[in-house]
Homo-oligomer: A and B are copies of this chain.
Amino acid sequence: MPRAVREQQMMDAAVRTFGQRGYRAASMDEIAELAGVSKPLVYLYLNSKEELFTACIRREAQALVAAVQAGVEVGAAADRQLSSGLGAFFAHTASNPDGWAVLHQQARTHGEPFAAEVAAMRDEIVAFVTGLIGAAARETHGDSDLLQRDVAGLAQALVGAAESLAAWANDAEGVSAKEAAATLMNFAWAGLGNLMRGERWVPSSR
């Protein structure tokens, strides 16, 4: 069996094991067995547990970014692009929960080098969302004095909310990717509108 194929099998097994057991609790023995190969072969191809983990992170990050980009309705209005991207994001994480767990839970909690790998992907997504929100603002409400920083903050909040909801939607039965995306769009849109109108929440008098 050619090396490239074997490597993918190993990484499939590794993502599943890392995602379900956690980085530390996942044993190379288990990964090898799940991949249907011997342990030395895993080391021969992927060198060490750390490198294997890094390879998983990179592969899953690229897959996620690719899924989101493929989901965006190019040419549509910015809000629809955002909404379809969110839908693709929720759909991908829902259909690939172990990969999402690796990125969201494992990579961020086991050392700077791993976290940096995910941070790069996240920055890419945030930049993409920031661009969309800015475009949406111009399209929907015309030019405004919306500050760059406000848009950036909103994008950060939106991405964070989406990440958090992804984990939750996977657990709670009956929440579809589309529903989750719609709920989030409601928030984002409302928040965006308020920001542009300069309306901020002020506490009630009582």
Q: Chain A interface (Cβ within 8 Å of chain B)?
A: 22-25, 76-80, 83, 101, 105-106, 108-110, 139-140, 149-150, 152-154, 156-165, 167-169, 172, 174-175, 179-180, 182-191, 193-195, 199-201, 203-206
Contact = CB atoms under 8 A, between A and B. Distances in A.
Given A22-B24, A161-B157, A168-B153, A83 B203 contact: yes
A184 B201 CA distance: 9
A169 to B, nearest CB: 8
Contacts of A24: 22-25
Given A24-B24, A163-B164, A189-B201, 19 more contacts: A22-B110, A24-B25, A25-B110, A80-B204, A106-B109, A139-B204, A140-B204, A152-B168, A152-B172, A153-B168, A157-B165, A160-B163, A160-B164, A186-B191, A187-B187, A187-B191, A188-B191, A190-B199, A191-B191
A183 B22 contact: no
Contacts of A187: 154, 157, 187-188, 190-191, 194
Given A105-B109, A157-B164, A164-B163, A183 B150 contact: yes
Chain A's interface: helix, strand, loop or mixed, by majority? helix
A165 B160 contact: yes
A203 B79 contact: yes
30 contacts: A25-B110, A76-B206, A77-B206, A79-B201, A80-B203, A80-B206, A105-B109, A109-B109, A139-B204, A149-B172, A149-B174, A150-B183, A153-B168, A153-B169, A153-B175, A153-B179, A154-B183, A154-B187, A156-B164, A157-B184, A160-B160, A160-B162, A160-B165, A182-B200, A186-B200, A187-B191, A189-B201, A190-B193, A190-B194, A190-B201
